[in-house]
Structure 1
């Protein structure tokens, strides 16, 4: 089988010059707080790809974990890592390009202004409720595939959700910290946004399992289905809000036992709209 045009037989000394030789780098994301630099590249045949290179030791570890995750988990909503480029004793990963905008983009220059009227998050929240619910349902369905593969969500937040406004479809990106679970937290905290993290993610020795993912997805529903960051303008139904409140209880034992239980309760609460 022929090599992909982005993949060299040998290690390349630097990613960006290599991409420029095989195609056109049409965009670059340099000021990210993840320790990675990413590029959009268009090949001679017109195909567009997204290439992500780790530039710190922690980011390299994260990208290696992500490669293993993408070998184990497949879902149409999850943008896959399909190739790797050997570079300076490390790797850069190659993903198909997806049109859309991430709902939150932190950077080394400070947080993205997601509160401004023109931001991706503000425009997403202004969509009809049915569109937001479809996007969340796709997120939920993808995480059922994650759970089926024996993995748990780590560092999921609105920056991992890309939305294509033209096609009304959601994609999941940068799931680099997802890992097999359950596992015991051996650090003082896991990486992630405090807006989405369960209490146990801040406790060394805590068990991180399916109930942690339930909390994260409950918080995702709460954030996405509210009209603002103050979370005072819930756009879903009271029944859906009750599901969210159970999913995000502080004690893991008080939540849904697993993602299937959460999904069943959420979809039952959403049944009147679906029917």
Structure 2
């Protein structure tokens, strides 16, 4: 209802998305079933996943995301840290797979995360704009993605969009799931100091100072999580 583009552009984008969902078929992603052609356009069909979106912007006029008990984000933040760390592993595993498939996540944010509160399962959705590598920012400052998640290169025309960019994106997501979101102070962080330092490194504006791949970021994350558990046990 709020779409401002042309019908043909929408059709082209959906056709492109079919390839993405086929190439990135994974247990942690909503399952693409089929494409349906009609006289007026096309539709993509997915298996139902009984999860709630962590950035359900269509309900913000009904309740506050941070304080209302019906808000999925509010409910998620009140899960135990252990459950959220398990959920985070699911996201890391998927982004590692994306990297292995020579893709880069584009327009990936908390609105791409679904959580099933009854079964404590996490699924990824809305990966339509993921791209094959190599790719660059071909739009400029209005490159795909919410401003709160975008790395410096996602504002710069011609800048590389790659695994290093995804490291930044994942780290911003982590600040939202177990930290203070926009407030990136340690006081708002619920994990260990080790994990906090990893996420701070991953969000450095200088690309060369971040982790150079999701694989390396996830490896350090797992190691620090394990060390923390060993110390508490």
Residue from 117, 124, 130 that aligns with 1:178 = 130
Determine if the alignment matches structure 1 residue 247 to structure 2 residue 214: no
Is 1:193 aligned to 2:146, yes or no? yes
Using a 3 Å threshold, how does the CA distance of structure 1 residues 57 and 190 change in structure 2: closer, same or farther?
farther
Return the alpha-carbon distance in structure 2 between the equivalents of residues 58 and 270 of structure 1.
44
Please, what is the CA RMSD of the aligned residues? 2.4
Cα distance, 1:251–1:111 mapped onto 2, change above 3 Å: farther
Deviation at 1:218, TM superposition (A): 1.0
Gap runs ≥5 in structure 1: 1-30, 37-53
Return the TM-score normalized by structure 2: 0.88
**Deviations 1:78-101 (Å, cap 9, x if unpaired)?**
112220110235310010000010
Q: Which residue of 2 aligns with 1:63?
A: 14
Question: How many pairs align?
Answer: 226
**Structure 2 regions of 5+ residues with no counterpart?**
none
For residue 192 of structure 2, the aligned residue among 220, 223, 237 is 237
Larger radius of gyration: 1
The aligned runs of 1:1-275 (5 Å cut-off) are 35=3, 56-88=7-39, 90-107=41-58, 113-118=64-69, 119-188=71-140, 189-226=142-179, 230-232=183-185, 233-275=188-230
Contact 2:172 2:181 in 1 (8 A): no
Tell me the TM-score normalised to structure 1 length.
0.75
Between 1 and 2, higher relative CO (CA 8 Å, sep ≥ 6) is seen in 2
Q: Which whole-Å CA distance do the structure 1 matches of 2:221 and 2:86 have between them?
A: 13
Q: Judging by fraction of residues, say which structure has more helix.
A: 2
